[in-house]
Amino acid sequence: MKKLLTLAVVLILLRGSSLAQQPASAPTPSDTQAPVPTQPLTAVPAESLRSIRIDRGGPPGIQVKNLIRPAGMNSHSLTGYGLVVGLPNTGDSSATLVSPMMTHLLTKLGLEPMLENVQKMKSKNVAVVAITAKLPPVARSGDPIDVEVASLGDAKNLSRGMLLRSLLKGPDDQVYGSAQGRITALPVDDENRVVGVVTQGGTVSRNLESPALARDTLVLTLLKPDLTTATRIANAVGLRLGVACRVISAEAVEVSLSGSGYSPISALAIIEELNIEPSTGTTIVVNRQTKSVVVGGSVPLKPALISHNGVTVEIGPQGSNLKTVLENLSRMGATSDDIVAILESLRQAGSLSGQIEYR
């Protein structure tokens, strides 16, 4: 018999939904006692894992919050312009800074008193950037938000830069916040390091609340219109909240909260955590630039056995979810290319229902 490869992470679903460790020694009288649940799995060296077996690791279906968007509770786009300083000779050239467009922007930023000095800089340690941010439907003054910055000139790299305080405006040209701080996240690709993120670098300056929160009716808009999925959402919400739900169309479900005692916020908090089985597949987004895989919610997987590059992945008879698989692959040190290839294999094997979208 061929020697089995060492399994560093093995999830075995036992009868009765208990997870137990199997002793390596000969059976003893204590073996007849009820199994003792194991502790949560911990990370292990990548070289010790070449095969994983995974059984059900979470509730079936997908959380409703990954399938719908509450109507009237949209996020708001904020924009602004600013200066990133402290760049190690990778910022805008002096020729760019003296261009008419940059002169107008620098004047608009209130830098007119120091405009001449900025434009005479030779060290390329400054870059003019555009700033964008998403303001959630409900926000309070002082709330932090992430902001993204992108070079407007000929800067080569925004790494290690510091964004000076800049105002953020909405579509109505009103100021809703400000942003400043060190750029903390950049693409892995060196050729595209002229965009970045200032994590929690924005600060909301005024309270904002959606008018939808004052109504006694919620409308849930499906991100992917589908009549069967809408019906399943309506049934799940009505059963859980004990309220009247009506499928308006393939893309909307109306939830009546009148006399239920639920506020829109409290109802949404419960609705978002419900799990249903959508009739349409889930889209998994693979970002080639950042080498990341984005999956919305608990994506169910059907039984399968696939192998890639010496790694075997087995989904048990009762299925599992994609989150569990990704966690185990990360523990074993799988590369992003390996993970994408394994996802493709699971999809082709019929285990993963959905599409893989590359960006």
Tokens of 349: 């094997």
Q: To the nearest 5 percent, what fractions of the chain are helix, strand and coil?
A: 25, 30, 45
CA 35, 39, 40, 44 dihedral sign is negative
CB count, 10 Å around CB of 206?
14
**Strand bridging mode 282-287 / 354-358:** parallel
Q: What local confidence, expressed as pLDDT, does residue 5 receive?
A: 31
Contact 295, 323 (CB under 8 A): yes
Strands (DSSP E) contained in 125-278 are: 126-135, 144-151, 162-169, 175-182, 195-204, 217-222, 245-249, 252-256, 275-276
Tokens of 261: 């005692």
pLDDT tens across the length of the chain (359 residues)? 333 333 333 333 333 333 333 444 444 433 433 343 333 333 333 333 345 555 544 555 678 888 888 888 878 899 998 889 888 888 888 777 767 777 777 777 666 655 566 656 666 888 889 999 998 888 889 999 999 999 988 888 888 899 999 999 998 889 999 999 998 766 655 556 888 899 999 999 988 877 777 788 999 999 888 899 999 999 999 999 999 999 999 999 999 999 888 988 899 999 998 988 777 666 677 776 667 777 755 677 888 898 888 788 888 887 787 878 888 888 888 887 888 888 888 888 888 876 777 77
- Alpha-carbon distance of 182 to 176, in angstroms, equals 21
Q: What is the pTM of this model?
A: 0.54
Phi-psi region of 275 (alpha: psi -120 to 50; beta: other; left: phi over 0): beta
Residue 111 backbone phi and psi in degrees, to 5: -100, 20
Q: What local confidence, expressed as pLDDT, does residue 45 receive?
A: 35
State the burial class of residue 164 (Cβ atoms within 10 Å of its Cβ: 0-12, 13-18, 19+).
middle
- Alpha-carbon distance of 128 to 131, in angstroms, equals 10
Q: Look-up: residue for tokens 């000095």?
A: 117
Return the DSSP state at 56. -
Query: CATH assignment of 64-72+212-276?
Result: 3.30.1360
Q: Which amino acid is at 310?
A: G
CA atoms within 13 A on the CB side of 218: 30
Phi-psi region of 289 (alpha: psi -120 to 50; beta: other; left: phi over 0): alpha
∠219-211-248 over CA atoms, to 5°?
Answer: 15
Sequence spans of domains, the chain: 29-61+289-358, 64-72+212-276, 76-204
